[in-house]
Structure 1
Amino acid sequence: MLPSIGRATDLWTTFQTPTAFLTEVFGSTPPAPKLLMLDAAAQAKLTAAFGRAYPQAQLRYWKADGRSAWILDDIGKVGYQLTTSGFVVKDGSIDSARVLIYRESRGEQIAEASWLKKITGAKLAGAKLDKTVDNISGATLSVKMMERMAATALILDSMAAA
């Protein structure tokens, strides 16, 4: 069974708060957040990976020591609830990934460390990841969601570096 810090409802599992994620990544004093503006050109790049325009016009991120941290939301299936995940990007690849808050009724296995390691080291190949990530039976849409968010984090990191 996966650890749970607390439940907002029977279906919501908080594995790690965004604040705890940033502390894990950067230490006890995370850097101040930066703001990335997502204009039409940025949205066009993101749509290829995210599958639709990113739902925000601006996005906070954190950057220090050659790494950037991104906290993103996505849904695995239309009509389901948002899942919040954190991604760390270093040198153009996923350095680490975490499921922070999972709000769907199935597929929470994507929060297991053994599965998240499969995303680690992934880079962009076009608008997708360059690694094949194994599916989890019963969690196909959640796996695809995490792949989308990881690719989106890589694109956002490249935009922030420009």
Structure 2
Amino acid sequence: MKSTFRNLFSIGSRKAAVEHSSLRRSMVVAGLSFPVVSFVSMSARAAEGLEKFYKYNTKPEDYLSGVFGGQVPAPQVADTAGKSGDMLQPLPQRTRYWRANGKTVWIFDEIGKAGYLPTTCGFVVKGGAIESASVLIYRESRGDQIGTAGFLQQFVGAKSSGAGIDKNVDNVSGATYSVNLMKRMARVALALDASVPA
């Protein structure tokens, strides 16, 4: 009788232990999944509101409205197939631009270095020279000095010169790739402007 009771008790204990173990496993899984789910949802929310942390954050449509005084012309398309050798980089086969009042406006999303985030920049070209340069969206944590008026002023009046531009642009400490990106995109804007019909 004693052994039967012990067997019943131990069977009950094992069953209780298994149930307890399953419950514990469920709690551990739930406890581990909650932070993961929370992290994923927080990351999604953070990505939605990340633009508020960009030092420069001008929407392209707002930039175009400012350049053209509220009367933004319809976009046109430059056929860049086979022309990328002059542009220093491969470009999409078709690049949008805007033309009015004797000037063209080019907006580029470009990466300064592999692994970096794209910088959105805009260039106004008139008479074969840069009339103005702007950084619309700068997503990197360093080098945002390339968006300052003092830096961008260096591009005004620049023309094509070989594989670059004819003006010397001072480097910014800690932002060499971003500076090179702006010089490269200025050259691309000038080359594209020269390639489209007037």
Whether the TM-score (by the shorter chain) exceeds 0.5 is yes
Name which structure has the greater RCO, CA cutoff 8 Å, separation 6+. 1
Where in structure 1 do 4 or more consecutive aligned residues deviate above 4 Å?
none
SS in 1 for 2:196: helix
Is this contact kept in 2: 1:71–1:85, CA < 8 A?
A: yes
Matches within 5 A, 1:12-161: 12-40=54-82, 42-47=83-88, 52-54=89-91, 56-161=92-197
Aligned to 2:24: none
Provide the C-alpha distance between the structure 2 equivalents of 1:135 and 1:61, rounded to a whole number of angstroms: 28
How big is the alpha-carbon RMSD for the aligned residues of Structure 1 and Structure 2?
1.8
Provide the C-alpha distance between the structure 1 equivalents of 2:53 and 2:141, rounded to a whole number of angstroms: 6
The alpha carbon displacement at 1:9 in A equals 5.0
Q: TM-score, normalized by length of structure 1?
A: 0.87
Provide the C-alpha distance between the structure 1 equivalents of 2:132 and 2:52, rounded to a whole number of angstroms: 27
Is this contact kept in 1: 2:110–2:118, CA < 8 A?
A: yes
The alpha carbon displacement at 1:11 in A equals 5.8
Aligned to 1:4: none
The alpha carbon displacement at 1:44 in A equals 2.1
Number of residue pairs aligned between Structure 1 and Structure 2? 151
User: Based on CA coordinates, which of the two structures has the bigger radius of gyration?
Assistant: 2
Kindly tell me: are residues 9 and 62 of structure 1, through their superposed partners in 2, closer, same or farther at Cα, counting changes over 3 Å? closer
Is this contact kept in 1: 2:51–2:57, CA < 8 A?
A: no
Q: TM-score, normalized by length of structure 2?
A: 0.72
Report the structure, 1 or 2, having the larger strand content. Answer: 1
The alpha carbon displacement at 1:13 in A equals 3.9
Q: Which runs of 5+ in 1 are unaligned?
A: 1-6
The alpha carbon displacement at 1:105 in A equals 1.9
Overall identity of the aligned pairs, in %? 47
Is this contact kept in 2: 1:98–1:111, CA < 8 A?
A: yes
